[in-house]
Amino acid sequence: MRVNPMFKAVSWIVGLAFMWSGVAFAYPIARIIPFGKVNVYRDGELLQVLQEEAPLPEGASLKIEGKCAVRMNDLYFVVQDGGEFSIQTSGAVNQLTIENGTLYFAAIASTAPVAFNTPSGTIRTEQIALAASDESALLRGYVNVSEDATQMGVLEGGALTVATAKGQQSIATGEQLTLAKAVTASAETDDDDPPGAVPPVVPTEEVGRIPAAYLIGGGLGVAALAALAFAIGGSDSSNSNPLPVSPAAP
């Protein structure tokens, strides 16, 4: 499928960020770097506010003001302003719980499985099929979580096989999987139904093309530039060196 040229330009910025920050990732300790503030909560209590690069607070609820980047052993992602998430890396599958917000990620062929837990359901990565076979090849995508639905899209680099409650799905470049919350199938009941019967609840799931408006939005450009700044040593989150803004940003 054809992908918007502007997306392709900013997507390659993310790729360059990884090339500069080390081949095949190889980071022994997960790190988080704020471009703004990361509010760290445990059991509903605010424990600390991160404004500089630090070890990733596993298991904590992280609420983002500005943006933040997370660098794991074989996964890298940037969370947009207003995002709320938590991470657990113990076990065979990394658990990434996203309450709301948008993140852009990059992965390699050997990236460990990740379970994206959202209010609309769980999407677990099963297999990454890269379009290129060299070690620097990356699959780039996004996850967007709103009140009513979750979208996971593949922006460039190959295809992603995932598992949901309904089974396996394949997401190719230029496609997104939409996982909606369970909705009432019909406001009407059959004549044979007893009085007061509740219509069945049916979850919805669909693979379709990424909307053009999503590809050309300013958010992707800003996220890519955040990844670039992080990769080339932009760990100073002070305002003395503000993050450049994508020309597409509103």
Residue-level pLDDT at 194: 64
User: pLDDT at position 211, please?
Assistant: 80
Within 10 angstroms of residue 135's Cβ, the number of other Cβ atoms is 10
Domains of the chain: 5-231 (2.60.120.1440)
The pLDDT, as a whole number, for residue 76 is 85
In the block, tokens 């059991």 appear at 43
| Cβ proximity of 115 and 179 under 8 Å | no
Per-residue pLDDT of the chain (250 residues; tens, 9 = 90+): 454 444 444 444 444 444 444 444 455 678 898 989 999 999 999 999 999 999 999 999 999 999 888 888 788 888 989 999 999 988 789 999 999 999 888 888 888 999 999 999 999 999 999 987 665 678 888 999 998 899 999 988 899 999 999 999 999 999 999 999 765 555 445 556 666 565 555 568 888 898 876 665 444 544 554 454 445 444 444 433 333 333 233 3
Structure tokens at 191: 């004549």
pLDDT at position 214: 60
Q: What is the pLDDT of residue 226?
A: 45
Q: Are 167 and 138 in contact (CB under 8 A)?
A: no
**What is residue 202's predicted lDDT score, i.e. its pLDDT?**
54
